[in-house]
Amino acid sequence: MPKSQKVVEEKERVEAFEINVGDLAVPVKILFEDRFNNRVTVNSNGITIKISAKQPKEEQRKNIDYFLKWAKEKLGSKPELLDFLPQRKYMNGEVIHIGGYDFFISIFFQEQKKSTAKIFNNQIVISLAKGLSAEAQANTNSYLVCKCLTKFFQPIITERIHELNSRYFGKHINSVKLKYNTSNWGSCSTQGNINISLRLLFAPQDVIDYVLIHELAHLIHPNHSNRFWNLVEKIMPSYRDKEKFLNDNNHKFYL
């Protein structure tokens, strides 16, 4: 290996950990690079701090502490700046309250190649393949819980959408899909395909109904024109309160 390349690799290193901001565990990545300045960014990956490896170590730590303090203050007042959702770390025996139901998590390890899960009565029973790393376990648990809950609530949400459509709109619905979407609460295409985020089911029923009415209103007005909002308000006069609730609690609803 050329000497110059070895020097660069020794200077460039990474530290990764999490910090708590309110009730969020926010990932932090610190990159020590062959650069002259320092910077911090907050985005969908969490907090990223880039530090000059040319600085003395004492100066590096001062800059890191300053950036972390700044990021925590920013996120404390505006958690929506993250535009990301962490991954829940499931524990055996814990309870998830969603959609008006309490689900108990039961995790087992089995001698099998594939991990599986199913809902039995009020339990989400997860059978994990042995030998998975801690990260793989977390990813698998999250995926399987989402899969189980989507299957469980799909008919419930579909029935509620058709009920509201029959009561207020009377429009053709092509399909209703429930999925774990983190970018929005719902969507409606011009073809009448309605998608609802599983995360919405953490909200109270009146807030859930607001989102369903919102998407159904797009069957009549495909944009967010004044006529669209007038229609939504006619059906649900307090819709602004529901919007505020979702904005205030967006960062709390994740699986």
Are 130 and 110 a contacting pair, CB within 8 Å?
Answer: yes
- Bridge partners (DSSP) of residue 49 are 30, 40
* Region of residue 93 (left: phi > 0; alpha: psi -120 to 50; beta: else): left
Residue 24 scores a pLDDT above 70: no
In terms of residue numbers, what domain contains 75? 3-81
- Within 13 A of 65's CA, how many CA atoms are on the CB side? 6
Statement to judge: residues 74 and 170 lie in one domain: no
Residue 89 is assigned to a structural domain of this protein: no
Are 203 and 100 a contacting pair, CB within 8 Å?
Answer: no
Residue 203 is assigned to a structural domain of this protein: yes
Cα→Cα distances 237→206, 209, 240, Å: 12, 13, 8
Lowest mean pLDDT among 1-5, 101-105, 112-116, 149-153: 1-5
What average pLDDT does range 52-66 have in this prediction? Answer: 89
Statement to judge: residues 117 and 228 lie in one domain: yes
Residue 188 is assigned to a structural domain of this protein: yes
What average pLDDT does range 164-189 have in this prediction? Answer: 92
Highest mean pLDDT, choosing among 15-29, 34-48, 59-73, 204-218: 204-218
DSSP 22: T
Residue 4 scores a pLDDT above 60: no
Statement to judge: residues 175 and 126 lie in one domain: yes
Question: Which residue, 59, 81, 103, sits at the end of a domain?
Answer: 81
What average pLDDT does range 142-146 have in this prediction? Answer: 92
* Encoded tokens for 35: 């650069």
Residue 88 is assigned to a structural domain of this protein: no
Statement to judge: residues 110 and 38 lie in one domain: no
Statement to judge: residues 125 and 61 lie in one domain: no
What average pLDDT does range 245-252 have in this prediction? Answer: 86
Statement to judge: residues 50 and 102 lie in one domain: no
User: Rounded to an integer, what distance in angstroms lies between the CA atom of residue 33 and that of residue 24?
Assistant: 28
Residue 204 scores a pLDDT above 90: yes
Are 26 and 19 a contacting pair, CB within 8 Å?
Answer: yes
Higher pLDDT, 215 or 135: 215
Highest mean pLDDT, choosing among 36-40, 48-52, 93-97: 93-97
Statement to judge: residues 141 and 193 lie in one domain: yes
User: Rounded to an integer, what distance in angstroms lies between the CA atom of residue 181 and that of residue 188?
Assistant: 14
Statement to judge: residues 25 and 146 lie in one domain: no
**Whole-model pTM above 0.75?**
no
Residue 241 scores a pLDDT above 90: yes
Question: Which residue, 23, 56, 81, sits at the end of a domain?
Answer: 81
Residue 166 is assigned to a structural domain of this protein: yes
Residue 128 banded pLDDT, cuts 50, 70, 90: very high
Residue 150 scores a pLDDT above 90: yes
Nearest 5°: CA angle at 21, between 58 and 19?
45
User: Rounded to an integer, what distance in angstroms lies between the CA atom of residue 126 and that of residue 108?
Assistant: 6
DSSP codes of every residue in 203-235: S-HHHHHHHHHHHHHTTT-SS--HHHHHHHHHH
User: Rounded to an integer, what distance in angstroms lies between the CA atom of residue 167 and that of residue 155?
Assistant: 18
Statement to judge: residues 76 and 99 lie in one domain: no
Statement to judge: residues 53 and 146 lie in one domain: no
Statement to judge: residues 76 and 131 lie in one domain: no
Statement to judge: residues 68 and 22 lie in one domain: yes
Number of domains the chain contains = 2
Percent of the chain whose pLDDT exceeds 90: 53
Residue 116 is assigned to a structural domain of this protein: yes
Residue 145 banded pLDDT, cuts 50, 70, 90: very high
